[in-house]
Amino acid sequence: MLLMTTSLPRWGRAGCCILAVSVAMPAFAQSNTPASGADNLATPDIRGSASGDSPVDPLVTTPASVQETDSTAQEQEAKAPSITREPEAGVVDDTAPRNIGTPPGPYPVEGQGWGPKTGRNFYMIRYAEDWSYLADPKAEDVPLRNLKYIPLGTGDGAYLTLNGYERIRYVYSSRPYMDEARSRDRHEIQTRTMFGADAHLNENFRVYAEIGNMETFGRNQEAHIGVHEDNLNLQQLFAEARFPVAGGGKAGVMIGRQQFYDGSRVILSTREGPNVPLSMNGVRLWSQWDKFRFSAFALYGSEDDTSVLGDGVDTDVSLSGVNTSFVVANGDVAGQDSQVFFDPFFFHYLDKDHTIGLVSGRDRRETYGARLWGHVGRFQFDWSAIQQDGDFAGRPVDAYTISAEQSLALASGRDAPRIGLHAEIASGGGYYTQTGPIHSFNPINGANILFTEINTLTGINLAKLGPNITFNPVKNVNIFAEAGFYWRRDENEPLYRTSFEPYAGTENVKGKEAMQIYRARMRWTINQNVSVVQQVEYVAAGKVLDRAGFKDEIYAATELHLRF
């Protein structure tokens, strides 16, 4: 508490204002009961190539806004569960009540690819929010309504929306990196302050801008590098034009710096665990019809720089490709309310100067696969199969990963407890040899909450089996718990952290048992503007890590999320 008090000035006036406003909001907000979710965090890749996803709510790829035209539509929305896996910290389940905002296209909103919800009409990616319904003076009131819909007076559909977000996180680690040489306890405070403005010049054209300030301080803290700290960051700045297309569809083009969350989280995320989120630069084209949609994109990375507005475009790292989605089921299946999507995709990833293990040089990954996800009745699932070809430092690449998350509700209703099982396999081999093919999978920008809350593991040379349970002990409180068991695939290849940094020496010891991770996450949703997340994780070193000199670690984090 003393550390937080003496460090308050470092949050800046903006963060304190968000804190005061958000805490006061419950007095003005109408009651609602968002469903469960929780925030995850993972310490980042130094170059930003691997990422954790935490500070928002569920780990579901959910939509922008949903159109509610009558009470029947709202009842149907309430009955259909979201495609949740283990919930992310700070993020909420998509079963929360909807406003009457209009989704950008006709495809089922759950599958439009705008990222997870964090509240009734709040999204992890703030540009996905639609507050245009507030133009109707009879619309349901919301806190700070005058900031969510500001008429520009230049015609129909012209308005400005402002948003803000503050995340305050306290982190404790008993043995950072499980390394005896760094065995000092870590006590760290991280703050993320963000402001955004969404200017709609008419119904089909808008400009979105977002800035952020991220700070890290404490005892035995992380290095002050660009994924942990940024004095002032231009997080997003893009223009979007929307237009109708043949067949009753809708399309849009987004040009500029933007967050991108359209695809399997095995390889895509916005790096929500680290203090500085991941943004990319370029163009994205999306198009939707009733039963089919696709998006095509060509994006460069962003430099991780701690200086004021120093985050330039990183032309050494690029990601391009196509993601498609088909509606397999949307309604009754064998008497069960169901919604199922099938998403084939192809991504081209290039890092002109990449180093992992003993391999250094140009890393080109042609990544293609498919994702089948959704729910049939009480059964939810998210399955991905991905193959990687290409070349790394002149050596051919032949790698793959398979991800399977599934859970079953034990009763009806959105608050019913769920039991689940998460299984992952990621190929490995080649990073510690001088010749031959590369078999190690590259997770690119994958969401590391699949494995851990911290910088412990990533999807390279790895197998996981993790039974889990999710339940709501009391109203507005959600708990997720998992016992994760991990093995390495290739005994001649080390284990890798989220940052792609190898556990030094594990390539020289025999065995496949890597570790066990026992974790729990509690999320208390005070209202849609304020939530508190508590995370606890015990990492038990398996035979491989123990033989290489690594020891157990206890990790805990407390997070306060404030948004308007």
Distance CA 266, CA 177 (A): 23
Domain residue spans in the chain? 117-563
Sorted by sequence, the CB contacts under 8 Å of residue 524 that are 6+ apart come out as 476, 477, 531, 532, 533
Beta bridge partners of 457: none
In angstroms, how far apart are the furthest CA atoms of the chain?
70
C-alpha separations of 215 from 39, 44, 188, 453 in Å? 19, 15, 10, 19
For 117-563, CATH number out of 2.40.160.100, 3.30.2130.10, 3.40.50.2020, 1.10.1040.10 equals 2.40.160.100
Sorted by sequence, the CB contacts under 8 Å of residue 275 that are 6+ apart come out as 190, 191, 192, 214, 215, 216, 227, 228, 229, 230
Q: For 284-297, b where at least 16 C-beta lie within 10 A, e where not — what string?
A: bebbbbeeebbbbb
DSSP 34: -
Sorted by sequence, the CB contacts under 8 Å of residue 27 that are 6+ apart come out as none
CA angle in degrees (0–180, nearest 5) for 486-492-496: 45
Query: Closest by alpha carbon to 93, among 446, 466, 402, 380?
Result: 380
Element (H, E) at 165: strand 159-173
Say if residues 172 and 149 touch (Cβ distance below 8 Å).
no
* Burial (Cβ within 10 Å: 0-12, 13-18, ≥19) of residue 14: middle
Element (H, E) at 3: helix 2-24
Say if residues 44 and 501 touch (Cβ distance below 8 Å).
no
Beta bridge partners of 386: 369, 401
Say if residues 439 and 427 touch (Cβ distance below 8 Å).
yes
Distance CA 72, CA 336 (A): 18
Q: Which pairing describes strands 205-219 and 230-245: parallel, antiparallel, or unpaired? A: antiparallel
In this prediction, residue 102 carries a pLDDT of: 65
Distance CA 422, CA 59 (A): 13
pTM, 2 dp: 0.83
Query: Closest by alpha carbon to 518, among 429, 451, 459?
Result: 451
CB atoms within 10 A of CB 4: 12
Distance CA 564, CA 562 (A): 7
Residue 337, CB-side half-sphere exposure with 13 Å CA sphere: 12
Sorted by sequence, the CB contacts under 8 Å of residue 474 that are 6+ apart come out as none
Say if residues 195 and 210 touch (Cβ distance below 8 Å).
yes
Query: pLDDT in tens for each of the 564 residues of the chain?
Result: 333 333 333 334 444 444 444 434 433 333 333 333 333 333 333 333 334 444 333 333 333 332 222 332 223 333 333 433 444 554 444 443 344 456 788 898 888 988 888 877 888 999 999 999 999 888 888 888 999 999 998 888 899 999 999 999 999 999 988 887 766 789 999 999 999 999 999 999 999 999 999 999 998 777 777 788 888 999 999 999 999 999 999 999 999 999 988 989 999 988 888 889 999 999 999 999 999 999 999 999 999 888 888 889 999 999 999 999 999 999 998 889 999 999 999 999 999 999 999 999 999 999 999 999 999 999 999 999 999 999 999 999 999 999 999 999 999 988 899 999 999 999 999 999 999 999 999 999 988 888 888 889 999 999 999 999 999 999 999 999 999 999 999 999 999 998 899 999 999 999 999 999 999 999 999 998 999 999 999 999 999 999 999 999 999 999 999 999
Residue with tokens 């954790």: 52
